[in-house]
Amino acid sequence: MTTLSPNGRRIGYMRVSTPDQRLDRQCIGLQESCDELYLEQLSAVAGRRPVFDESLSRLNAGDTFVVWDLDRAFRSTLDAILTAESLKARKVGMHIMSLNIDTSTPEGELFYTIIAAYAQFERRILRRRTCEGIMAARVRGAQIGRPRRLSDEIVADAYRYVCETGYPAPYVAALLRVSPITLERGFRRLGLVSHACELHSRRQGTEPTSARSSAAI
């Protein structure tokens, strides 16, 4: 493979959220300016980044780690700065293409630190606005997250069915084609879970004898 940089290899990395992003202009721009390009499809807050770790392990002294921007490569300011420090200790440079920052120079290193802090600030502002929006939606009574599998009305009907028949909640959940945990969460949401459990325990202790007698007849 032909090396693009006279001082070493240029190894690029980009995190993508969807398969379609593999063909966007940022990805193509990285591919054209790198000797090797590593793409990883996962969220920004993923705990493990195996492709990211592999791309770093490929770097040797004199090489350059190339990313398009901070958000498509790092999880936080601390993550970006620690990576830059680690690469610097290994005599590896880092190039941020969208900002034309090369950390191998003193000016690039200073500017990179400032930009990384600003990116983290923007992210915190976005997170705060998102939380404020969610809180406002909850005040208005809006449903946040995935739609509920069971409405309150169905949960209440299921509870009455358990009370009237004495059937265990897992059996009723199977009738509703949901998991027992889903039905239990519905009971808990309406404050019925303890009552259903107590009722089932009492019926188990009092009814089996009559039930067996009827079956024997």
As annotated, the active-site residues are 17
Q: Which pair of tokens denotes residue 201? A: 């325990």
Q: Are strands 93-96 and 10-16 parallel, antiparallel or unpaired?
A: unpaired
Distance CA 140, CA 32 (A): 50
| Under 8 Å between Cβ of 55 and 30 | no
Q: Which amino acid is at 124?
A: R
3 state SS for 171-186: HHHHHCCCCHHHHHHH
Residue from 206, 186, 208, 209 nearest 198 by CA: 206
Would you give the DSSP letter of residue 143?
Answer: P
Task: Find the helix packing angle between 180-189 and 152-165, rounded to 10°.
Answer: 100
